[in-house]
Amino acid sequence: MKTAKFVADVPTRVDEKNADQMIDISGPVAKRRRTATFDAAVEIHGDREGALVGLWATFSENATAAELSKCLKTSGRVKKAVPKLLTPYIRSAKKQYETSDSNYVRSLATLYEDGLMSRKKFNSLRVTNRASKGPNIVPYNKLQEYINKSIPKPDLIPIPTIRRYKCNLDQMLTFLAEMYIKSIPDKNNWFGNDGTFLLAFGGDGAPLGKFSDCSSFLISFINVEHFVLSCDHSFTILVGYCHEDSEEFLNELKDLSVTMKDIESNNYLIGNKNVNFKESVSVSINICP
């Protein structure tokens, strides 16, 4: 009873910067209080393990979130134990995230941000990321497998005369329209004609690697006005290893023009929205002398 009276007169307090250190009482007195508290817990809960469980349950039940946080943050013993406790969990969570769809999406964003990144630069970035403790991006070869297997894309039609490909324009337009309707519905400007996507076409030619002539033709959706001048929102529909004014390439452009007229005469149901397409701007290919 004397001990209880003494404790009531001089409450136990801890150092603001160290929750393991009692203040305003001497070391021997602090030790006697800890011993008495633990002995009482053992008597109540049956044994040492029960006492520890009971003390923790009592503390976590009665302490506020702020009080819990304060003690855990300033306890030296907790700081030493936490890395040992969390390291296996962090490693497991990191490994699990690195194989998740979220990390593949993150890796795709890294690969295509500000233009397509080369394999060499992408792999170099992975090497740099290993120095950090966070999850790394997906290896380049696995990311390419993911792109080929998991991401829907329009059919590519080989064109032997220009040694490359063109897209199935019908599939390409419906695929892009669905992407814009679902991902950024609030950013589509319909210009007073709801459901009509206005299209801009254009192209150019330039040397590419070992090929002295390489030409491409691209498409953009004017409705997505915030992105219309962004290279990230211009999509290739025709590419060939030939000069942009070559007869073969110009013939393919004529075929695309005929296909586009057919598409303009059709209506499409994408999600719950009736959609049609209209060519609004066509930029002539820059034919250099």
pLDDT for residue 6: 46
pLDDT for residue 46: 93
Q: Model pTM greater than 0.75?
A: no
Tell me the residue type at 2.
Answer: K
Question: 221 and 230 in contact (C-beta within 8 Å)?
Answer: no
Residue segments in the chain with a per-residue pLDDT below the cut of 50: 1-6, 284-289
pLDDT > 70: percent of the chain: 90
Question: 21 and 15 in contact (C-beta within 8 Å)?
Answer: yes
DSSP secondary structure, 60-82, as one string:
HHHS-HHHHHHHHHH-HHHHHHH
The closest alpha carbon to 242, from 191, 193, 203, belongs to 203
pLDDT for residue 268: 94
pLDDT for residue 80: 84
Tell me the residue type at 125.
Answer: L
Tell me the residue type at 27.
Answer: G
pLDDT for residue 288: 34
